[in-house]
């Protein structure tokens, strides 16, 4: 996938996205907050990674940069 989520939203301005609960318009900062929230795409993955790193089984975790 090329481009950012924001560019895709701007390109399809008249098609509200399910990523943002089909909310039309809005500000770029509101959309960024939505994605970074604990239940957003980035926030959920971040919290899951934190949980894995500090879990009891963290010694078996392999992180690749």
Residue 47 pLDDT level (bands cut at 50, 70, 90): very high
pLDDT at 31 over 70: yes
pLDDT 10s digits, 5-28: 777 777 766 666 666 665 666 677
- Radius of gyration of the chain measured on its C-alpha atoms: 16
Q: Which residues contact 14 (CB under 8 A, 6 or more apart)?
A: none
Does the global pTM surpass 0.75? Answer: no
pLDDT at 1 over 50: no
In sequence order, what DSSP letters do the residues of 16-60 get, joined into one string? --GGGTT--S--HHHHHHHHHSTTSHHHHHHHHHHHHHTSTTGGG
């Amino acid at each position: 996938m090329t481009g950012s989520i924001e560019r895709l939203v701007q390109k399809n301005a008249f098609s509200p996205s399910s990523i943002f609960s089909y909310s039309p318009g809005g500000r770029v900062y509101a959309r960024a907050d939505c994605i970074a929230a604990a239940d957003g795409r980035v926030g959920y993955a971040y919290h899951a990674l934190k949980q894995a790193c500090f879990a009891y089984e963290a010694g078996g975790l392999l992180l690749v940069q």
